[in-house]
Chain A
Amino acid sequence: MISQNSQTILNVQNLHANTQNTEILKGINLTVKSGEIHAIMGLNGSGKSTLAKVLAGHPDYEITQGSIQFDQQDLLALDSEERAQAGVFLAFQYPIEIPGVANSQFLRLAYNTIQSKRGNDELDPLEFDDFVREKMKLLEMNPDFLDRSVNEGFSGGEKKRNEILQMALLEPKLGVLDETDSGLDIDALKIVAKGVNHLSNEHNAMILITHYQRLLDHIVPDYVHVMESGRIIKTGGKELALELEKHGYDWLHDNLQNNAGATA
C-alpha cells in the first residue's frame, strides 16, 4: 500500500558486493517505504538472492561501494544479529535444519532475544507456548512442529511456513522473502500468502524475491523490480509482472534495447 505519510524504511544507494573476488551486485538503487510491498524478479544468477543475503548481513559478501540506510541507521555498520534486532528479517530460500534443537526452544530464544533488545518483557516457556500456538494457527501449522528439531525432516512447504512463523513472532520492520514460493504447492502457497498479507501493515514493508508471477497473484505488490546482472534494470507496478509472465524476460530485453534506441 503506497501512502503519502509513509516513512522511508530502506534506502539502498549504488550498492556493489563481491563474493570470492567476483562482483555480484553492480550498483543497486532501491527505496522502500513503510506500508509497501516490493517484488524483485529476475532470472537465476541475476543477483536477487545475493541482495537478500547482503541485506541480512551474510558474512560471505564484501560490500565494495555504496550504502544502505535502514530506519535511519547505517545498516552496513551492523552485524547480522544486530540487523535482526533492529528489525530486518530474511525468510531463507533454503531454511537450515538444526538437528538436536527443538523448534520451540529456537523460536523462544529468538523471540526473547529480540524482545529484550526492544525493551519488552520476555516470555517463560509456558507463556511462550500459548503465544506461539496462536501464531501457528495463522499458518495452519500442526503444534507438533514445536517439539521437533528445527526444520529437520520438514517438507519444503513446512520449512517455508516455519520461516513465516518466525516472521510473525519477530515482527520485523522489513521482511525479505527469498523465493518463499519455490517448492510450494498451490495450497501451501495460499497459506503462506495469507500469512504474509496478514503480517503486512502500514508500519512495515516487504520485499518478495521470486522467479514467478504466481506468488504475486496472492500477495499483490506495489512495485515490481526486474534484476539482471547485478542491477535493477526496470521498475514498474504490479502489471509489469504480468507482462513478464506473458512475454518472458527476453521481451524485456528487446523492449529496453528499443527504448535505448529511441532515446538515442
Chain B
Amino acid sequence: MNALANIDYLSSLLQTLSTQNPGDFPKDLLPENNFPWLKQLRTQAIDQAGQFKWPTTRDEEWRFTDISPLSTLTFKPAQPGNSPALADVSPFFIEEANNRLVFVDGFFTPELSNVNHKNQLVVGNLAELATSHSDVIEHHLGQHFKSQKNLFSALNTAFLKDCAVIIAPQNTVITQPVHILYIATQAETTHYPRCLVVGQTNSQATVIEDYIALQKPANSSYITNSVAEFSLAANAQIRHFRIQRENSSAFHLANCAVSLDYASRYQAVSVTLGASISRYNLDIGLRAEAAECIIDGLALISSDQLADTHTCIDHLQPNCVSHQQHKCIADEGAHAVFNGKIIVRPDAQRTDSSQSSRNLLLSNQAKIDAKPQLEIFADDVKCAHGATVGQLDNEEIFYLKSRGIPELTARNLLTYAFGAEILNRISIASLKHTLEQIVLNQTQHH
C-alpha cells in the first residue's frame, strides 16, 4: 500500500481499516467469522486496492477526468445509525414500485423500506439474506468484476458492510420495479452503496437504482463509491433504471458490471444529474450466444459539474446484439465525458452493434469529450457508430419559429426534447414524469 500512502484520501481510509477490530463496529451486521467467504472477499479487495495507483489524467482511462480534488479529502467511512424523517424521504418514493430498499449512508434502513414478501422475488439486504441465500450470493458477489477491477470497486468491496440483494428465481416474471434508494446524510464521509441483482433462468425483473442526498447542513460534500453487479442467466430479462441525483458538492464514483448468459437481455437507462465530479463505469459482458443489451444514457449538467460515463460492451460470443445511445447536455462551465468502448472478440461473429453519442453544448464555456472506441476482431459483424457535438439544429429552430413559436421558447423546447428522448425509454410513468420535470426545469433559459 506504500504507493498510495501519499494520497491523503486513501491513507485516511486505510488507517480506518488497519485500526478496525470487532469492538469498533458494534453495528457491523455481518460478523466476518460467520461468513468466511465474505472475510476472504474483503481481505482480497484490501490487497488489490493496495496494488492500484491513484488515477490521474496521465492514465488513458482518466484522460478527461481530473479527480485530484478528491485526493486531499480525508473523508472517513460513514457510520450506521442515521435515519432521516419519513417526510423527507417519501417525496422520492416511486408509486409503481412494490418493493423498496432504502440504504442510509450505505446501511439498510428497514423503517424506510418496504419489502413485499408475497411476491416471488427475493428482495432484501445482505445481512438478512447472507444465511438463507448464501449459495447464490457467494457465487455472484464480487465475482463480476474480474477483468475490470479498479481502485474504487476494490475499495467498495474492502469496506463492504451491507448490500441490496435482488434475486429473481427461475421462471418468475415480475413487472413491478424494485426501488433501491441510496441516501447520503453524513457530511464529509465516504459511503459504499452496493447492490447485487441475479436474474435466474427465464426470469424477468426491473430494478431502479437511485442516489439522493439529505445532508445537514444542506449541500455538504461527501463521497459515494458504489458498485452494482448484475448477473443474467439464460433467457433472463432485467431492466435497470439508474438515477444519479446527488447534491452539487458530492463526488460520485460508480462501477456497474453486467454479465449476460445465453439469449438474456439487459436494458438500461442511466440518468446523471448531480454531483460535482461523477464517474460511472458500466461494463457489460455478452458471454453467451444471442445475448442482447440496450443501454441508453443522459447526462444533464451545468455550473462547474464534471460527469464522466465510461462504458465497455464486450462481445465474446456469436449472434449477440448491443444498442447504445448516449446524450450529454452541458451548460455554463460544465464538462461532460463519454467514452464508449465496444469490443468484438474473434469468436463473436454476426455481432449486431450500434452506438450513437450525441452531445449538446449550451454555452461557450461548456466542454464535451466524446470518444467512441471500437475494437473489432471478427470479420462478419455489423457495427454502426456515430458521434456529434454541437449546438441546436437551425432547421429545427426555424421549423418551430415558422409556427409562430418565439426563438427562446423554441430553443428551450428543443433542448428539453434532446434530453426527453432518452427519458422516453423509461417505462415507469411516475419516474419518467419526475425526471421530465427536472429536465424541463434545467433546460429553460430566460
Contacts and interface: CB of A to CB of B under 8 A. Distances in A.
Contact of B417 (A58, A79, A85, A100): A100
Contacts of B406: 81, 113
A58 B394 CA distance: 10
Contact of A58 (B398, B403, B410, B418): B398
Given A59-B394, A96-B395, A113-B406, A80 B401 contact: yes
Contacts of B395: 96
Nearest to B415: A100
Interface string A54-75: 0011111000000000000000
Interface string B407-426: 10110011011111101100
A100 B403 CA distance: 18
B399 A170 contact: no
A99 interface: yes
B17 interface: no
Contacts of A114: 403-404
A57 B399 CA distance: 11
A110 B420 contact: no
A169 to B, nearest CB: 9
Contacts of B414: 98, 101
Contact of A96 (B396, B413, B420, B421): B396
A81 to B, nearest CB: 4
Q: How large is the interface on B (under 10, 10 to 19, 20 to 34, 35 or more residues)?
A: 20 to 34
A79 B408 CA distance: 13
Contacts of A98: 396, 399-400, 414, 417
A117 B406 CA distance: 11
Interface string A70-111: 000000000111011100011010011011110000100110
A96 B414 CA distance: 12
Contacts of A113: 403-406, 409
Given A101-B420, A113-B406, A166-B403, A80 B413 contact: no
Nearest to A90: B402
A85 B419 contact: no
Contacts of A90: 402
A257 B183 CA distance: 83
A92 B413 contact: no
B401 A100 contact: no
A199 to B, nearest CB: 16
A84 B402 contact: yes
Given A59-B394, A100-B424, A101-B420, A110 B403 contact: yes
Identify the interface centre among A81, A85, A90, A106: most chain B CB within 10 Å of its CB: A81
Contacts of A117: 404
Name, among B395, B402, B410, the residue most crowded by chain A CB atoms within 10 Å (CB to CB).
B402
Contacts of B413: 101, 106, 109
A59 B424 CA distance: 32
Nearest to B407: A81
A109 B405 contact: yes
Nearest to B403: A110
Contacts of A101: 413-414, 416-417, 420
B409 A109 contact: yes
B267 to A, nearest CB: 18
A169 B266 CA distance: 43
A98 B411 CA distance: 12
A60 to B, nearest CB: 8
Contacts of A95: 399
A129 to B, nearest CB: 18
Contacts of A81: 401-402, 404-407, 410
Interface in A27-77: 56-60
Nearest to B394: A59
Contact of B399 (A60, A79, A96): A96
B404 A59 contact: no
29 contacts: A56-B402, A59-B394, A80-B398, A80-B402, A81-B401, A81-B407, A84-B401, A84-B403, A89-B402, A92-B399, A92-B402, A98-B396, A98-B400, A98-B417, A100-B416, A100-B420, A100-B423, A100-B424, A101-B416, A101-B417, A109-B409, A109-B413, A110-B400, A110-B403, A110-B405, A113-B406, A113-B409, A114-B403, A149-B421
Given A100-B417, A100-B423, A110-B405, 17 more contacts: A56-B402, A60-B394, A79-B407, A80-B401, A81-B404, A81-B405, A81-B406, A81-B407, A84-B403, A96-B396, A99-B421, A100-B416, A101-B417, A109-B409, A114-B403, A149-B421, A170-B404
Interface of B: 394-396, 398-407, 409-410, 413-414, 416-421, 423-424
Nearest 8 Cβ contacts at the A-B interface: A100-B417, A100-B420, A84-B404, A100-B421, A110-B403, A96-B399, A81-B401, A80-B401
